[in-house]
Amino acid sequence: MMPAHIHTPVPTGSPRNLIWTVDQFHSLGDLGMFEGRRAMLIAGVILEEGPQDPPHAIAATKTEDLIRETFGKGWHVRVAKPLVLGQTTDPEPDVAVVAGKPGDYTTHPTTATLVVEVSDSSVRYDTTVKLSIYAAGGIADYWVLDVNARQLLVFRDPIPDPTTSHGHTYKTQLTLGAAGTVAPLAIPTTVVKVADLLP
């Protein structure tokens, strides 16, 4: 039986797309609808990614471990967990860094200091649609680890851009090869080696 709070009035008029809210999406997750699946909610549409191949899984684990070590105390590293960026959007990023400790949050975070997506088959999506979503959500530091090209794409300084899918983009865009290094905006004295993130 569906929880009462995810009930939606039936619209009148011609057929239209059924737009899911974040609350409805999370309720479906609580019911086990996405168990073992990689689901996300983008502008009211539930999307699913395929299973991770070994290079992706290795890179995701290395990224999680290194980001956790880099940020240390005072920061909470969330892995494939909700990040609510509006009433109808929860991209569930591979890695998101938020301030504080896990117990500080009684609801899902609505912002993050750093978001990292680990990409192989999803590079185009992560650098267009998701990029615009994160920029619109005010995420100041967004990284895409391109496993196949063995590079890190760094996006900073979100700005409005009506030509993009969600009306925002990033002014600063850097491409770093495997030999490159980057410092997270939140802790600029710390250096992350791109090679340490790659499989």
Per residue in 23-44, pLDDT (tens digit) is 999 999 999 999 888 899 999 9
Same domain? 23 vs 57: no
Q: Tell me the CA distances in angstroms from 191 to 1, 90, 117, 187, one per residue in order.
A: 50, 29, 19, 9
Same domain? 82 vs 161: yes
- DSSP alpha helices (H): ranges in the chain? 22-30, 54-71, 123-126, 129-136
What is the DSSP-derived secondary structure letter of residue 5? G
| Domain boundaries, position 20 | 4-46
Cβ 129 vs Cβ 157: under 8 Å:
no
How many contiguous H segments (helices) and E segments (strands) does the chain have? 4, 10
Same domain? 84 vs 39: no
pLDDT at position 46 is 92
What region, left, alpha or beta, does residue 171 occupy, with left being phi > 0 and alpha being psi -120 to 50 degrees?
A: alpha
Same domain? 123 vs 180: yes
Same domain? 35 vs 65: no
Same domain? 133 vs 163: yes
Judge if pTM exceeds 0.85. Answer: yes
Same domain? 91 vs 115: yes
Per residue in 62-72, pLDDT (tens digit) is 999 999 999 99
